[in-house]
Amino acid sequence: MQSVLSILKAIENGNITPKAAVAQSLDAIAAKDAAVGAFVALPDREATLAAADRATGPLAGIAVGVKDIIDTHDLPTGMGSPIYAGNRPPADAALVAMLRDRGATVAGKTVATEFAFLRPAATLNPRDPAHTPGGSSSGSAAGVAAGMVPVAIGTQTGGSVIRPAAYCGVAGYKPSFRLVPMVGVKTFSWSLDTAGFFAASAADVAAFVTRLTGRPLDVEPVDPSTLRIGLYRTSVWDQADGDARAALSLAAEGAASAGASILEIDEPEILAAAREAHSTIQNFEAGIALGFEYAHHRDRMSEILRTTLEQGRAIAPEAYDAARSVARRARHETGELFQHVDLILTPAVTGAAPHGLSSTGSPVFNKLWTLTGNPCVNVPGAANKAGMPVGIQLVARFGRDRLALSAASWLESLLVAGTAPER
């Protein structure tokens, strides 16, 4: 995979120019994407390299894949839907404007499922093309996993960053709610939609986000002996298969061996209830957010989307308000949990990437944390017997993004080095 940190270091040392670094990414896309299908639109190569040659800023030389529900003024933004085929927004999304302001290059638009919901797209998992890369940020995860770009941007409403990162074996980072702007990103559910980032490792994603936002998010060393990690199997543990359970145990035992305290946490009732409230909030808001598309173009929607919007439109405001009340109490309860632990260690996925492209997999282990707004990182490094990645997830207190990334980097190093016990 391409590494943000390696590229930045090579540029800093004068071993490569920003233009040449971007050219490497564009070359990799040209060579590999036919077999993966991560990109849906690419910019003109010469114009892009000329712009990269002029770029200044802390992200000069970094080529970024941008999920195709995020507006770009110079590339079509198709939303994964025939309704928006060829759509050309008048402006860049705020995140894209930030990227460019810092010198980064948009290397292309990455495949999104239809309005970032559940209908699978055609992207293949670079680890094994017989498997889904997950969704809805399918192309962003696959583009990084295949070594085509060092970074890609996605979004998560249920589990659309953490899940594809877990299936593709890359680091995925969902920031604290509204740490990064959503202006110019197609809305599915305004209370839930959260932009996130994919890179080869937690340290890479942290380096990128530090330079993007100006916030000190670079990973720093953690002292395992001071870490209190809550092992949080959730009340839907029965949906985790053997691979997911083994990966979680591997991580927990590795962390314990390294000196961290592991505390078992039973899921509080209100957090189990919040997992259900997520659907009510998501569907009610989607019914409103996609009201124009439903009124004018429902014949060009997938069955699963149309049905979900109809369910959402049938939810009474009182039921929505009740779900929001559950969400508020869940956020408070999550804050209480973090009185006792520094981090929560929990499955990222129910197992390795499902076979075939008929489903993008289950977000059941993600949607609670999208609702609470806590920062989450998919930690890569574990795999099943077939060699397919199985992610595990670290969750930190709201606003403690740097700790989430730093601890993820530490845990990743244990998993990658194989210092964690064998299963």
Nearer to its own copies, 58 or 181 (CB): 181
Candidate ranges 97-105, 263-271, 351-359, 389-397; the one touching its own copies (CB under 8 A): 97-105
| Nearer of residues 237 and 398 to its own copies, judged by Cβ | 398
SS3 248: helix
Q: Whole-number minimum distance, CB 42 to its own copies, in Å? A: 20
Per DSSP bridges, beta strands 261-265 and 228-232 are parallel
What one-letter code names the amino acid at 102?
A: R
- Give burial (CB, 10 Å; 0-12/13-18/19+) of 122: exposed
Q: Does 87 bind its own copies (CB under 8 A)?
A: yes
As measured in angstroms, the least distance from the Cβ of 397 to its own copies is 14
Among 268-276, 291-299, 344-352, 390-398, the segment contacting its own copies (CB under 8 A): 291-299
End-to-end CA distance of the chain: 26
If one asks whether residue 289 binds its own copies (CB under 8 A), the answer comes out as: yes
Beta bridge partners of 25: none
3-state secondary structure of 73: coil
The region of 48-56, 89-97, 130-138, 405-413 touching its own copies under the rule CB under 8 A is 89-97
Identity of the residue, 213 or 249, whose beta carbon is nearer to its own copies in the bound complex: 213
Residue 291 touches its own copies, criterion: CB under 8 A: yes
Q: What residues have CB less than 8 Å from 156, skipping those under 6 apart?
A: 137, 162, 174, 192, 193, 194, 196, 366, 370
Residue with tokens 């040209």: 30
Give the contact letters, 306-345, x = binds to its own copies (CB under 8 A), - = no: ----------xx---x------------------------
Contacts of residue 18, defined as CB under 8 A and 6 or more positions apart, other chains included, come to: 11, 52, 53, 55, 60, 61, 103
* Alpha carbons 352 and 361: distance in angstroms, whole number: 9
Q: Which is nearer to its own copies, 285 or 342 (CB)?
A: 285
Binding residues for its own copies, rule: CB under 8 A, are: 73, 84, 87, 90-94, 96-98, 100-101, 178, 181-184, 187, 190-191, 213-215, 285, 288-289, 291-296, 316-317, 321, 399
| Residues with a known catalytic role | 67, 136, 160
